[in-house]
Amino acid sequence: MPAKVIDGEAVASKICKEVAERAQELAAKGHKPQLTAVQVGENPASKIYTNMQAKSCQEVGIGYQLLNLPAGISQDDLLGEIARLNTDPTVSGIILQMPLPQQIDARQVQVVLAPHKDVEGMGPVNMGRLFYGGSCLAPCTPLAAVELLRLAAVEQFGGDAQSALAGRETVVVGHSEIVGKPIAMILLQSLNAAPTITVCHVATKDLASHTRRAEVLIVATGVSQARWLGYQRRKKAGENPQTPDLTPLIKGDMVREGAIVIDVAINRIPKALDAKGDATLNEKGKADMMTVGDVDCQAASQRAAAITPVPGGVGPVTVAMLLRNTIQCAKSML
């Protein structure tokens, strides 16, 4: 029986409805939540994200401001802007748009960002609180992945959102600071009902031996896109690189029967390559690209009990979590 597709759009819609109610309550008390995005320089990809953020905020009643700073801004001047936003009582949350210019140390900026306004939960204070447990602002994508997992686990394993995962063999593939590690920490919050977690990474030997025993499989590597981008860089440098393997990292036979699969990755790769090793073109003469995850969804669906699609899975819920975190930030300022 094919796996149930976990509908991220539906879950995000429910969360956004709850966020809208909280935003209305705060506004009625004279504390309308506001999210401020800080963007340094012009970046087409960032513009897509900021437009999406503005639209999402408007839909739930959260104010939105885009602070667009010059690309040549110095580290000290940027830190000064962050310090100003930290003390601005009208700003509930701050999000730092990536990428940043080479002269900017992103880690240093995250250090000075006020923890109670750090809507992405990426600063060292919030990361530390996540490790120690208790209430904190956690990164949005890990929160989204765990939200979908808990909903699927209740349906698959029974119990409530906490007990459903107790002791379950859980494998996280990818140990990045923004996704893999925080997911593991969030899942370990419970003192007596946490899953049993294995974290795999680039140095892991025999990845399939780990994934095949996982009752819960969470994958967040972006391997296909990394390979494609690396291949392009080498070609532009005049090298003659070998055509990259852009097939999904997790094949169907690497998934345990009845597992819950949460695919976090968003890879933008070509649908096909031409004889020269370039992306084939669409009817508009542009590279014909597709969005896929780290998991061979079609093959994995023949073995898994439930699986998130890409797109339409973790992505929409990540945006909803950003809004929920903004409300949490706003409440902390009361």
Domains of the chain: 31-131 (3.40.50.10860), 138-318 (3.40.50.720)
Using pLDDT thresholds of 50, 70 and 90, give the confidence band for residue 268. very high
Contact criterion met (CB below 8 Å) for 330 and 63: no
The string of pLDDT tens digits covering residues 205-261 is 999 999 999 999 999 999 999 999 999 999 999 999 999 999 999 999 999 999 999
Contact criterion met (CB below 8 Å) for 286 and 110: no
| Distance (Å, whole) CA 25 – CA 21 | 6
The predicted structure's pLDDT at residue 207: 98
The predicted structure's pLDDT at residue 1: 76
The full length of the chain comes to 334
The secondary element (H helix, E strand) that includes residue 290 is strand 289-292
The string of pLDDT tens digits covering residues 169-211 is 999 999 999 999 999 999 999 999 999 999 999 999 999 999 9
Using pLDDT thresholds of 50, 70 and 90, give the confidence band for residue 132. confident
The string of pLDDT tens digits covering residues 158-170 is 999 889 999 999 9
Render 8-58 in DSSP notation, one character per residue.
HHHHHHHHHHHHHHHHHHHHHTT---EEEEEEES--HHHHHHHHHHHHHHH
For the segment 291-304, the average pLDDT, to the nearest whole number, is 98
The predicted structure's pLDDT at residue 59: 98
Contact criterion met (CB below 8 Å) for 137 and 119: yes
Residues in CB range of 312: below 8 A, 6 or more apart: 7, 8, 9
Question: Whose CA is closest to 273, among 296, 293, 244, 253?
Answer: 244
The string of pLDDT tens digits covering residues 31-70 is 999 999 999 998 877 888 899 999 999 999 999 999 999 9
Using pLDDT thresholds of 50, 70 and 90, give the confidence band for residue 298. very high
